[in-house]
Structure formats: structure tokens, C-alpha cells
Chains A and B, each alone.
Chain A
Amino acid sequence: MASTLTPVADPARASAPSQVSAPRPRRRRRPERWAAAAFLAPLVVYLVAFYAYPLYRNVELSLRNYTVASFVNGGAQFTGFDNYRTVLSDPVFVQALWHTAVFTLGSLAVQFTLGMALAVFFSAHFRLSGLLRALFLVPWLLPLIVSSSTWAWMLNGQSGVVNAGLHAVGLPEPQWLSSPTWSLVAVLIANIWIGVPFNLVLLHSGLQAISSDVNEAAALDGAGAWQRFRHITFPLLRPVSAITLLLGLVYTLKVFDIIWIMTRGGPSNSSTTLATWSYQLSFGGLIPKFGPGAAVGNLLIVVAFLAGLLYLRYQRKAEL
């Protein structure tokens, strides 16, 4: 959930969901059923107390008019969907939605393309290939605060190394983090850097499963490298590609740390997504707006669940 990648990096940071085929329920002797219940009880209690209850509180927050006082003492007035109406009619909502779409799709497209190119490149064994592939995991394993603060300094308008490089080749030097035109691009670059390893690892392990015979046969028939990729590797890799992209979608929708640390969603909301806007409302201002913040969060959860269900459905289908 951290981001991430999980693979993780939160994925970007990821806890990769595992493929567990649900064991078939079967009637057992009574003591064994009790044993199963005893072994599962901690998990069930845990899920109720530390997942369901916070989520329930979040829904409750979004349906009441909370102030700081009523947050501590209770007694907030029930206002139905007022908070949702407030956020949906806020002009920032459209901005945040648009940024979420650009950030998510932009990250996925570039991460996947680079990850695929690298996976194909590393699928041929050559000297040092294992070591180099392992080193490619580094961005994904670093704490997000480490990568975010490093990128923030690299993209600094005056003293950043990126602008020094652009200056050296005569290109314009944008104020990456402080100009509304570039802030979203800046956080996108950092997120892509973090997400490439995840795509590389998944696609590479997918490539390992493809038999090399087909490729060798095609090579003997005179098919070039691009033709072989286009007509053999890519179609055979389609299930793995879909799973990689859908998992990436689930993780990218959750991304918070990178944006918050680099730009706090600013300047003037130019890099805010649904996740950072929700947090901004609840914790970012002088006066916390817990109700609207929770409302945005609950809208985000709907989007995340839809993406998640899509992933689970596809994964189940791929298994059959």
C-alpha cells in the first residue's frame, strides 16, 4: 500500500497480491473446524478493527459536518451528501480528476514501454546481466521520501542538475516545481523512475516462461528481431502485460507520497490528484475540512475498487 511496488513501491510501491486459489470448502470433523476458526480469528478481528472500522469512520466523516471541536467530542450534525455536493461543485475537483487521469495514464504508458524494452533486452543472457537487472530494482526499493527529496533537489530551478544539463545543451530551463505548467510533469518523471523496475521484473519473469523454440524457429525462417517481438513475443506476453498494467493502475491511483513531498499538489493545485487533494482538505490547511476530505477519499476508493475488480477479474480469467 505504500506505494509502493510492490512492487513495491507502494508502488508504485507494491505489495504484489499473490495468486491464491481459494481452497475448496469441504466438510471436516468438528474439532478441525474449530482449529481453523481459531487460526483465522486474529486475522478476522484485525480486518474488522483496522480495515473495516477506519473505513466506516471515513464514510461517517463524509456524511457529517465535522468541526475540530465535534471531531474530538462528537455530536457533529448529520448533513447527508452535503460534503459530496461541496467537493463535486468545487472547481478543484475537475482539476484533480484530470491530473489523476494524466498522472496515471502517463505513468503507465511510459513505465510499461520502458519496462518492456528493458525486459526484452535483459531476456538474452549476457555477462553481468543478472547483476545489472538487480541494480535496476534500486529505485523501487528506496523509501519514497528518499527518491522524492532527491528528485526535488535534482529538479530545483536554480541549482538542480537537470537544468544544468538542459542549459549545457541550450534548452530552456523550466522552474519544474514552482511553475504550474511543469509541476505535474516533474512528479510524473519521478513516479516513472520509481515504477520502471516493477514493470521490468514482472515482464521479465513473463518472458522467461515463453519457450525460446518459437523464437528460434522464426529466426531460422528469417524473421528479424522487431518482427519476432511484434508477432511472437508481444502476443504471447499479452496476459502478463495486462496484469502488469492493471496492477500498475491500482498502485498509481494510490500514489500520494511523491506528489506531497515534491510539490504538496501545488503550486495552486497544478499537480494535485484526488489522493493529494483529499489529504490537503483534511490535513493540509490551517482549518481541517475533514468532511470534504473524507468525501474525496471515498470517491477515490470507488475508482480504486473498480480498477481492483478489473484486475482480479482479468487475473482469474487468465488462470483458466
Chain B
Amino acid sequence: MTTTTPTTTSASTRRARRGTGRTVLGVVATLVMLFPVYWMVNVSLTPQDRMRKSPPDLFPFHPSLEGYRTVIADQGPYLATSLVISLATVVLTLLISAPAGFALAKLRPRGAGALTFVVLISQMIPGVIMAMGFYAVFLNAGLLDNPVGLVIADSTIAVPFGVLIFSAFMSGVPDEIMQAAKMDGAGTFRTFWAIVLPVSRNAAVTVSLFTFLWAWSDFLYANTLARSSDYQPITLGIYKYIGNNSSDWNAILATAVVASIPAAVLLVAAQRYVSAGVTAGAVKD
């Protein structure tokens, strides 16, 4: 007993020390990885006359809010447009993908396999090609420079993902629940609306969060389909800044900081949904 005690203590202290070592190493790696994010914030707080200083200030020693004042003065309408377009995209995506996911998972229609395959493949189409096609279609349909067109285009980023998430999640809903609902005289729509959809809340949250983030972040469709629109999203607000006054990098990166807020909120508030969304299906648990 007395002989074993010292060895176990030393083993556990060694393990503890290794754990601390790993934490230190992990913190250093994370700091390196997040340096660009820090740099964005640092530059956004740098006053204009120190912007071209060489070497640049590593810390905001002379913090200035002039960049953020410019954001507030210029970017309000862009932020509002992004918010409205992203929310509308979420609604459209849910309307299309939730019923389809339910049908694929629970109603076993003919051609379900083929349809799932088409949905999978449609995710792989490069956005540039879709953008060009939408430009041609919207030009003739009068949807160019129209927020409705942008919502439709943005939703194509998310609908296949939505269908696959809903269908994967809803196939986990026990058939007995469906049967019981039918016994009680509920039709298919009621079963979907009152029973399957409420228990699929997690899937709906995941789909909504990612759809919002993708629509909020979209640059390609906005730059192609809303070039002369009265309603332009924040991604174009930043892009125009870069093009017009490429010296105001504090304003450019202050806008970037503001545009990152939804991603930050998502990470803090819904981290488990994020990981679920990334790994969804790509790896089998």
C-alpha cells in the first residue's frame, strides 16, 4: 500500500501536467487561428491617420470609433435589407423543405430515391453557374434588382440542405405515433402539422439558423442580381466600400465586424446546432 501510493500520485500528476500542457498548446493554437479576427477588430478601431503606419500598431493604442460612426451613417439601409432578405429566405426554405422532408421520410412516395438523388446533386452545382442562369431568367421575368429575386436565389443555397435535414430527422419519428394519429382520425396534413413538425423542432432550428447565415453572407447572388437595386444587402455595402474608398480600411473592417454579429450570435447561442449541421450525415454516427 505504502509503496504503490507514490507511483499513483506521480502518474496522476504527470497526467494533470500533460493536461495543462495541452490546454496551453490549445490556447496558443486558437489564438493563432483567430488572429485575423483580432486583426479585423484592431484595424476597425484604428484612426485614419495611423492606418498606413509601418509597422502597424499591434494593439488599438489610440482607439477611435470613426470607422463605426461611418458604419452607422452609411450602412443602416444595407443591414436592414440583409435582415429582411435573410428572414424571408428562412421562411421560403422552411415552406419548401419541411413538407418535402416529411413526405420523403414518412409517406414513401414513388420516385423518392430519384428525388433524393436530385436534391443531393443540386447541392453540388457551383454558385457561379446558378448566378448566371438566374441573371438570364430574372432579366426576362422582371425579377432582376428585385428583393424577391434575391430571396429566391438565396434560398437555393439552403433548400437541398433543408430537405435532407428534415427527412433525416423525421425518419427517426416512430411510425407508431403516426399510426396513433391516424386512429384518432387525423389526416396526413394534421399529422404533419400537429405531431411530426413539433417534434422536429431541432431540425427546424438547425435549418433556420444555417439558412439565415447563408443568406446573410451571400455575396455572389447579390453582386449578380442586385447590382443596381435600391435594396442591397450588407455584403454589397462592404464590397462597394472596398471599391470606392479603399483607404478607409477602418470603416470597411468596422462594417465587417458588424456583419459578423449573426455568426457570433449563432456560435454562442446555438453551438450544438452548428456542429450538428456541419456533420449532418456527412459522417455516420
The chain A residues found within 8 Å of chain B, CB to CB, are 1-3, 5-10, 13-20, 22-26, 28, 32-33, 35-37, 39-40, 42-44, 46-47, 50-51, 53-58, 61, 71-72, 118, 121-122, 124, 126-129, 132, 134-147, 149-154, 158-161, 164, 167-168, 193, 196, 198, 201-202, 205-206, 209, 240, 243-244, 247, 250, 253-254, 256-257, 260-261, 275-276, 278-279, 282-283, 290, 293-294, 297-298, 300-301, 304-305, 307-308, 312, 318-319
Q: Give B76-108 as 1s and 0s: 1 = Cβ < 8 Å from A's Cβ atoms.
A: 000000000000000000011101101111011
Is A13 touching B214 in the complex (CB atoms < 8 A)?
A: yes
Given contacts A58-B132, A261-B219, contact A206 B37 (CB under 8 A): no
Is B157 touching A150 in the complex (CB atoms < 8 A)?
A: no
Name the residue among B55, B96, B108 with the largest chain A CB count within 10 angstroms: B108
Is A135 touching B189 in the complex (CB atoms < 8 A)?
A: no
Q: Which residues 225-280 in B have Cβ within 8 Å of A in the complex? A: 235, 238-239, 242, 249, 252-253, 256, 259-260, 263, 266-267, 271, 274-275, 277-280
- Known interface pairs A20-B164, A127-B20; 15 further A-B residue pairs with C-beta atoms within 8 A, sorted by A's residue number: A10-B127, A24-B108, A32-B188, A35-B187, A39-B100, A42-B95, A61-B132, A118-B29, A121-B25, A159-B51, A260-B220, A261-B219, A275-B128, A305-B124, A312-B121
Q: Is the C-beta of B150 less than 8 angstroms from some C-beta in chain A?
A: no
Is A300 touching B55 in the complex (CB atoms < 8 A)?
A: no
Is B253 touching A149 in the complex (CB atoms < 8 A)?
A: yes
Q: Determine the residue in chain A with the shortest Cβ distance to B154.
A: A2
Q: How far is the CA of A37 from the CA of B99 in the complex (A)?
A: 10
Contacts of A13 in B (CB 8 A): 214, 217
Q: How many chain B residues touch the partner (CB < 8 A)?
A: 116
Binds A, one of B3-11, B61-69, B133-141: B133-141
Q: Which residues 157-172 in B have Cβ within 8 Å of A in the complex? A: 157-161, 163-165, 167-168, 171
Q: Which of B43, B131, B189, B218 contacts A153 (CB under 8 A)?
A: B43
Q: Is the C-beta of B115 less than 8 angstroms from some C-beta in chain A?
A: yes
Q: Is the C-beta of B34 less than 8 angstroms from some C-beta in chain A?
A: yes
Is B26 touching A33 in the complex (CB atoms < 8 A)?
A: no
Is A25 touching B136 in the complex (CB atoms < 8 A)?
A: no
Contacts of A36 in B (CB 8 A): 103, 107-109
Q: Which residues 115-129 in B have Cβ within 8 Å of A in the complex? A: 115-129
Given contacts A136-B30, A141-B266, A149-B238, contact A7 B278 (CB under 8 A): yes
Given contacts A40-B103, A121-B26, A132-B27, contact A294 B132 (CB under 8 A): yes
Main secondary structure of the interface of B (DSSP, over half): helix
Distance in Å: Cβ of B83 to nearest Cβ of chain A: 14
Q: Determine the residue in chain A with the shortest Cβ distance to B224.
A: A283
Main secondary structure of the interface of A (DSSP, over half): helix
Q: Determine the residue in chain A with the shortest Cβ distance to B155.
A: A50
Q: How far is the CA of A304 from the CA of B124 in the complex (A)?
A: 7
The chain B residues found within 8 Å of chain A, CB to CB, are 19-20, 22-23, 25-27, 29-30, 33-34, 36-37, 39-40, 43, 51-56, 95-97, 99-100, 102-105, 107-113, 115-137, 139, 152-153, 155-161, 163-165, 167-168, 171, 187-189, 192, 210, 213-214, 216-220, 223-224, 235, 238-239, 242, 249, 252-253, 256, 259-260, 263, 266-267, 271, 274-275, 277-285
Is A23 touching B126 in the complex (CB atoms < 8 A)?
A: no
16 contacts between A and B (CB under 8 A): A1-B125, A1-B126, A16-B161, A17-B161, A18-B164, A19-B284, A43-B119, A46-B96, A58-B136, A61-B132, A126-B26, A140-B278, A144-B219, A154-B39, A201-B278, A256-B126
Q: How far is the CA of A293 from the CA of B189 in the complex (A)?
A: 45
Given contacts A24-B108, A51-B122, contact A143 B260 (CB under 8 A): yes
Q: Determine the residue in chain A with the shortest Cβ distance to B249.
A: A153
Q: Determine the residue in chain A with the shortest Cβ distance to B277.
A: A16
Q: Which of A2, A32, A139 contacts B127 (CB under 8 A)?
A: A2
Is A2 touching B218 in the complex (CB atoms < 8 A)?
A: yes
Q: Determine the residue in chain B with the shortest Cβ distance to A8.
A: B278
Given contacts A36-B107, A149-B256, contact A297 B132 (CB under 8 A): yes
Q: Determine the residue in chain B with the shortest Cβ distance to A26.
A: B108
Given contacts A20-B281, A39-B102, A279-B128, contact A145 B235 (CB under 8 A): yes
Q: How far is the CA of A10 from the CA of B33 in the complex (A)?
A: 19
Is B96 touching A42 in the complex (CB atoms < 8 A)?
A: yes
Q: Which of A32, A44, A124, A283 contacts B107 (CB under 8 A)?
A: A32
Q: Which of B139, B159, B279 contacts A205 (CB under 8 A)?
A: B279
Q: Which of A118, A128, A147, A300 contacts B128 (CB under 8 A)?
A: A300
Is A25 touching B108 in the complex (CB atoms < 8 A)?
A: yes
The 3 closest A-B CB pairs, nearest first, are A54-B133, A18-B281, A22-B113
Is A152 touching B242 in the complex (CB atoms < 8 A)?
A: yes
Q: How far is the CA of A151 from the CA of B249 in the complex (A)?
A: 12
Q: How far is the CA of A178 from the CA of B270 in the complex (A)?
A: 40
Distance in Å: Cβ of B129 to nearest Cβ of chain A: 4
Given contacts A8-B278, A32-B107, A141-B274, contact A134 B128 (CB under 8 A): no
Contacts of A150 in B (CB 8 A): 36-37, 39-40, 253, 256
Q: Determine the residue in chain A with the shortest Cβ distance to B275.
A: A201
Contacts of B135 in A (CB 8 A): 282-283
Q: Determine the residue in chain A with the shortest Cβ distance to B138.
A: A54
Is A54 touching B214 in the complex (CB atoms < 8 A)?
A: no
Distance in Å: Cβ of B78 to nearest Cβ of chain A: 12
Given contacts A23-B105, A134-B267, contact A149 B128 (CB under 8 A): no
Given contacts A15-B157, A43-B97, contact A143 B259 (CB under 8 A): yes
